[in-house]
Structure 1
């Protein structure tokens, strides 16, 4: 899935992205580290992998941030 970097704190290696529908979704240091990045700037296009919490796979969380968490964030490449 693609998104746009929205915020990033280099001290905590966490931040948030904006999904293409404008929904913000936070990421933690584990997701940042999994992508092998050293720095992230707001506005950069990124590729994310999202894990859906158990029990929300029926579409109940479709289009919303609830029940989803980013497990990997890396730069989008062409």
Structure 2
């Protein structure tokens, strides 16, 4: 699943993502930490991994090609 960074708090490394279907979801700092990324930018495209309950577990950059 992919979406766009809607909000990002650099102090807590958490925020919200706007999914391609228009749904806005929050992501915890743990999902950011699991990615190995150092920061996110507003409007940046990301790939989202979720567990069975819908909790965001990892945020990565989409691959192209």
So what's the TM-score if we normalise by structure 2?
Answer: 0.91
1:52 offset after TM fit, Å? 2.5
Q: Alignment length, in residue pairs?
A: 64
CA RMSD, aligned part only? 0.8
How many Å apart are 1:75 and its aligned residue? 1.3
The residue number in structure 2 matching 1:36 is 36
Deviation of the 1:3 alpha carbon: 0.9
Equivalent residue for 1:72, pick from 51, 58, 62: 58
CA distance in 1, matches of 2:20, 2:52: 18
Gaps of 5+ in 1: 54-67
Runs of 4+ in 1 over 3 A off after TM superposition: none
Q: Which runs of 5+ in 2 are unaligned?
A: none
Would you say 1:46 and 2:32 are equivalent positions?
A: no
Separation (CA, whole Å) in 1 of partners of 2:19 and 2:32? 16
State the TM-score, normalized to the length of structure 1: 0.77
